[in-house]
Structure 1
Amino acid sequence: MNNDESNEAPYVVEKVLDRRITTAGKIEYYLKWKGYSDADNTWEPDENLDCPELIAKYEEARRMKEFKEAKKKSAKKKLEEISKPRGYERGLPLNRIVGATDCGGELMFLIQWSGCDEMDILPAAVVNVKDPQLVIQYYEGKSKIVEKAKERAKFAAYEEERPDSSEHDTVPGTEIPNESLEQILEV
């Protein structure tokens, strides 16, 4: 509240208590007035206020509070993520081995669990002991893929070595000379 009229007692803001944004998009602050009780606190539009230091102090405190809350939520989420059971601790049966990779000289398997969307990367040595049959199935599947790839490569190499098929696809004596072919097509 601005006090433009000199005959009224001046209203002095003691403290900014809260902030809101109206449906019209205007910022209003909830104010504690100096010399008045809490029952006299009011919401005032920011354009009517002349207390930039108090507003800045309130806004800084509000931002710090939001930052601390966000940090707390993030830490809680990370703690939940860390404490979540992984690998065989999940108590779920292994569905399949999706892939394998070398990680610092140690073979690791990417594992998909039954009834779970998340996957884990586990040392192959652990999976070999816990689920040897699935490890065998994984390698058998890989060997079939390799065999099929070899067959395709042999076939592709054979196709490249074959002479032009147009010369050998006709039966001797059934060739049509180019001039005759042109005459046939004109008719």
Structure 2
Amino acid sequence: MTDEESNEAPYVVEKVLDRRITAAGKIEYYLKWKGYTDADNTWEPEENLDCPELIAKYEEIRRQKEFKEAKKKSAKKKLEEINKPRGYDRGLLLYRIVGATDCGGELMFLVQWHGTDEMDILPATVVNEKDAQIVIEYYEAKSKVVEKAKERAKFAAYEEERTETMEECQDAIPGTEIPTAELEQMIDV
């Protein structure tokens, strides 16, 4: 070792300025060296560095900055969502009414638009005014569903009554004799 080499001061990191990930997936930091100009800043692989406090400080600041940016984007997206046109203001044609609900005493329709999966909840009065035919189709389809449900309920009640009658008849069929209690009822009538 020469005298010149032994007197040379070791390189000391003053500050971590940036971070990147190489194509090979390695993390490198852009460093400002103590006692050197910005022209001497270099990218160095993480495994070659011995400044964990400076790296931790840089990473904390970077995470805070990313969090603030994400929060700002989220707020902007929410604002865009709030200001986004709704209902007929979209300029789209109504595709169908998906359902209906009572909202504070006002009938509301859940509607779907042509060309999109997005839906809106609109007052029934507005939909009645702008797309009366679709409202009629919705109610016709609903009434068909209700009629089928009533038919099924009637059939179920009929089947239940028929089953009970059959069970009662099976008690009396074996010898075609009429049970005493029923015979007394028939006589009293």
Distance 2:24 2:136 in 1: 67
Q: How far apart in 2 are the matches of 1:155 and 1:9?
A: 98
Matches within 5 A, 1:1-187: 7-22=7-22, 26-163=26-163, 164=166
Cα deviation code 1:117-171 (max 9, x no counterpart)? 2110001121122222222222222112111111111112212222559x99xxx
Q: Which 5+ residue runs of structure 1 have no aligned equivalent?
A: 169-187
- Give CA-to-partner distance per residue, 1:66-106, whole Å, 9 cap, x none: 11221122122222222221101011121211100112222
For the residue of structure 2 that corresponds to 1:95, the secondary structure is strand
Q: Which amino acid aligns with 1:135?
A: V
* One-letter amino acid of the counterpart of residue 129, structure 2: V
Secondary structure in 1 aligned to 2:20? Answer: strand
In 2, Cα distance between equivalents of 1:39 and 1:147: 83
Tell me how large the CA RMSD over aligned residues is: 2.5
**Cα distance in structure 2, aligned partners of 1:66 and 1:92:** 37
What is the DSSP-based 3-state SS (H/G/I as helix, E as strand, rest coil) of the residue aligned with 2:11?
Answer: coil
The TM-score with structure 1 as length reference comes to 0.75
Residue aligned with 2:117, SS: coil
Alpha carbons of structure 1 residues 137 and 26: separation in structure 2 relative to 1, 3 Å? closer
Structure 2: where are the runs of 5+ without partners? 171-189
Partner of 2:176: none
Shift of 1:23: 5.8
Secondary structure (helix, strand or coil) at the match of 1:32 reads strand
User: C-alpha separation between the residues in 1 aligned to 2:13 and 2:113?
Assistant: 62
How far residue 53 of structure 1 moved from its aligned partner, in angstroms, is 3.4
Of all paired residues, the percent bearing the same amino acid is: 85
Counterpart-to-counterpart distance in 2, 1:112 and 1:56? 51
TM-superposed deviation, 1:42: 2.1
CA distance in 2 between partners of 1:23 and 1:93 (Å): 48
Q: 1:107 is aligned with what amino acid?
A: L
Shift in Å, 1:108? 0.7
